[in-house]
Amino acid sequence: MSGQDSVKRAAGLLVIECKNSNANGDPDVGGGPRVRYDEISLISDVSVKRKLRNMILDRGEYYKVLVKSLGLDGDRFQILEDPSRDKPAIHELIHSKGVDAFHDRYWDARVFGNTFLEENKTAKSRGAASKIHIRTGPVVFAWGESIAPVIVDTQTCTNMSGVQEGKDCGMAPDRAQQVKHAIYAMPFYIDPFLADKTCCSAQDIEVLMRLIPHIYSSCRCTTRPEVQLLHAYYFETVSKFGGHEMDLVKSLRPVKKDVSNPSSSSDEYSFPGFDNPTFKKYANLVGTTMDLMDVDIES
């Protein structure tokens, strides 16, 4: 089962809280939090998709629960964006069995798409590349933005066991770079027409929906000890062609009375949810609505 007949057109919004943590490091600033010119903090789509991939790639408890509850075929739930992948073997799979066999093997290629370039053997022009293996997946995450400006706190860490020869202690200046507090909003969209191009099935989307609530709780670490998903709003449209998804997603954004100043607590925000004027206005266009935080991964 795959394609537009099984995957519903849908959209949603992840509401993420960050407290004294670095939700997404920026390599251009030494791994410190991503902060825009206007002091709005960002979380990349890549960082969220990496966490989702890892829950399957690790073959740990999250994956085992899904295998049991959904009857997953492990051969079809491999991860293309695996640091240890055998690229020549993937090329051979595509050449010998075709693109559909490639998609059938890799869950993330079906859901998020891929940019696995192949040399065009029949191209006449020098350096030409085939586009046949470049696919945009049905699921797209936008970058998450903080609702208000943020304060980045920088601290020096010490190490009582020296790491340099002849030193019995050490310091790491500016080692800890943390956002004091922020609420982020990250939209996502699901296009059923693109699902057909990557052989994405309703089961693939179900796996995604069950993993989303655990993207941060599954990988706490020193740099992000207090990052949590507060809400994962999800809604389907009645028509497969959709309608007003961006307006509906925007209406789910948390609201802060004073957006010019940083926050210190989630108590400074209100969370409209689905009970807001925009959803009432377009009620005839919207089908199923839910907060994925209420979904049991084992059900």
Domain residue ranges of the chain, discontinuous segments joined by +: 10-77+136-152+179-294
Average pLDDT over the chain, rounded to whole?
89
Which residue do the tokens 């997953």 mark? 72
Looking at residues 227-256, what average pLDDT do you find? Answer: 97
Distance CA(190)–CA(242), nearest Å, equals 10
Question: Does pLDDT of 164 surpass 60?
Answer: no
Query: pLDDT class for 116, splitting at 50, 70, 90?
Result: low
- 9-39: b (≥16 Cβ within 10 Å) or e: bbbbbbbbbbbebbbbbbeeeeebbbbeeee
Query: pLDDT class for 127, splitting at 50, 70, 90?
Result: very low
Determine the distance from the C-alpha atom of residue 108 to the mean position of all C-alpha atoms in its chain, rounded to a whole number. 11
pLDDT in the model for residue 133: 56
Task: Write phi, then psi, for 22 (nearest 5 degrees).
Answer: -115, 100
Looking at residues 137-154, what average pLDDT do you find? Answer: 97
Distance CA(69)–CA(201), nearest Å, equals 17
Distance CA(260)–CA(258), nearest Å, equals 6
Determine the distance from the C-alpha atom of residue 208 to the mean position of all C-alpha atoms in its chain, rounded to a whole number. 10
> Residue 144: CB partners within 8 Å, gap ≥ 6?
14, 16, 42, 43, 44, 48, 184, 185, 186
pLDDT in the model for residue 6: 85
Question: Does pLDDT of 153 surpass 60?
Answer: yes
Cα-Cα-Cα-Cα torsion 135, 136, 137, 139, nearest 10 degrees, comes to 170
What is residue 158's three-state secondary structure? strand
Looking at residues 140-149, what average pLDDT do you find? Answer: 98
pLDDT in the model for residue 62: 95
Query: pLDDT class for 32, splitting at 50, 70, 90?
Result: very high
Query: pLDDT class for 149, splitting at 50, 70, 90?
Result: very high
Looking at residues 199-222, what average pLDDT do you find? Answer: 96
Query: pLDDT class for 174, splitting at 50, 70, 90?
Result: low
Distance CA(293)–CA(144), nearest Å, equals 18
Percent of the chain whose predicted confidence (pLDDT) is above 90? 77
Looking at residues 170-184, what average pLDDT do you find? Answer: 79
Q: Which is nearest to 210 in space by CA: 297, 289, 97?
A: 297
Question: Does pLDDT of 67 surpass 90?
Answer: yes
Residue pair 108/49 in contact by the 8 Å Cβ criterion: yes
pLDDT in the model for residue 168: 58
Question: Does pLDDT of 233 surpass 60?
Answer: yes
